[in-house]
Structure 1
């Protein structure tokens, strides 16, 4: 298979041939159908976020299940049979550490100790090896900028066949982050008023989720009129161009806001 390899900051990515990745127990081999480019990927490429190299970045993926690792439990195989459409999460929780057991998978000890610190999966090994010389290539999350990737089952969800691969790729990152910000960090409830400051990928998701959660007022704040126009279509009841007016004072005119989200 082929994948896009990051070698060092300032050097272009190169397409390289790899041995086909082999999933282990509890892992699935996914044929990548779409992969977004997150700003955290760009931080790695620019050298602003230290990470092992060479590596394959990309963690906003959708794809199709093509294989299961040996000794993968039957319940996982039944949940994700071959041919299933899936979406991946950028945080790949182990399910067993102190934080995962508490339901705080975003703080998973194994994910940060192995994947973010070493570029590997939970056993301390990558699943990517160059065909030319067999050397290892590290994985930023699942290393989605490749034709295939290995993903722990804990980091996958079934994607309904009615949802397109490309548009759904951000579900496991931008939308995932927005959901956590509203549900867990802000503890938003129906009837709350919400102000979203910055309506890029995460902010746009916040607007939609706030509306779905029953916010009484959803205020979008940005400095670009075109983004604010789009925000209206995503559920914003009010918009503020912070380059032209005092955002705080304008929000006070609209509503007594309970939730502010800076994205």
Structure 2
């Protein structure tokens, strides 16, 4: 089952819970990176996309860079990343910090460095890459509010063609093995030196990020950016655990051991895939 289909199911099942969490006195901001940039969805201010195109777009941005295990991340200036065909430039509104990111930062999960981590994102579409498919542009028009998947399917490999996006050949061959997108190149370059910086998924701990279009789903206006960021990771993973690993069926009783991001998603969204 494709990522957008899973996310639509998750949104239908969890939208009321997410809305309640947004009004809760226990904030989720400890998981959010971009809170200082985040605008409220009900604001009367112009959208980020409108400003981006009226101003011609900024020439640079900032992102948090992981250099090597044991050293703190640093904020660095980057040239504005540019999407290529069938890729989308997103103005990041929120990005969670997953334990997978921490594994990379601690050196427990080998990955190309320096890199920008962060793969639980929500944001606003501000630009499409040149020569992008017209259907993609129609599906995600500029100004759309979207959520991204931590596994970014290419949409064309043998696994993606069978609906097994989580096994995408290009994602693991290029992004996880090399820290790039599917042309073998990163989209991140330091402003002061022009040196490349690798991408853990889309490199979401940044003001802007480039995401393959097949890794996006539209986020309803009724859902807040911050609380929705985990839809493309923890909720996505919980779905796989229930539907495929455990093969949970309607009426089954389940025990959830460990209430972290994935466990909490299992606990609150146990029926989202049926």
1:36 equivalenced with 2:96 (yes/no): yes
Q: How big is the shift at 1:213?
A: 6.1
Q: How big is the shift at 1:131?
A: 0.5
Q: How big is the shift at 1:187?
A: 2.1
Moved more, 202-211 or 71-80: 202-211
Runs of 4+ in 1 over 3 A off after TM superposition: 211-214
Q: Deviations over 1:147-196 (max 9, x none)?
A: 00000000000000100000000000000100111122222211111111
Unaligned residue ranges in structure 1 (runs of 5+): 215-263
* 2:134 aligned partner: 74
Counterparts of 2:273 and 2:152, CA distance in 1: 26
Residue 113 of structure 2, aligned match among 44, 49, 53:
53
Q: How big is the shift at 1:2?
A: 0.3
* 1:202 aligned partner: 262
After superposition, where does 1:92-171 map in structure 2 within 5 Å? 92-171=152-231
Q: Deviations over 1:116-135 (max 9, x none)?
A: 00000000000000000100
1:86 equivalenced with 2:146 (yes/no): yes
Moved more, 52-61 or 176-185: 176-185
Contact 1:26 1:73 survives alignment (8 Å): yes
Contact 1:26 1:152 survives alignment (8 Å): yes
Q: How big is the shift at 1:37?
A: 0.3
Unaligned residue ranges in structure 2 (runs of 5+): 1-60
Q: How big is the shift at 1:212?
A: 4.9
Aligned length: 214
Q: Which has the higher contact order (CA 8 A, sep 6+)?
A: 2
Counterparts of 1:154 and 1:2, CA distance in 2: 25
Residue 191 of structure 1, aligned match among 246, 251, 254:
251
Counterparts of 2:271 and 2:220, CA distance in 1: 22
Moved more, 70-79 or 101-110: 101-110
* 1:182 aligned partner: 242
Counterparts of 2:147 and 2:124, CA distance in 1: 9
Q: How big is the shift at 1:114?
A: 0.2
Counterparts of 1:73 and 1:56, CA distance in 2: 27
Contact 1:6 1:55 survives alignment (8 Å): yes
Q: How big is the shift at 1:102?
A: 1.9
Counterparts of 2:192 and 2:271, CA distance in 1: 51
Q: How has the CA–CA distance of structure 1 residues 132 and 97 changed in structure 2, closer, same or farther, with 3 Å as cutoff?
A: same
Counterparts of 1:213 and 1:128, CA distance in 2: 36
Q: How big is the shift at 1:51?
A: 0.3
> What TM-score comes out, normalization by structure 1 length?
0.80
* 1:221 aligned partner: none
RMSD: 1.1
Q: Considering only CA atoms, is the larger Rg found in Structure 1 or Structure 2?
A: 1
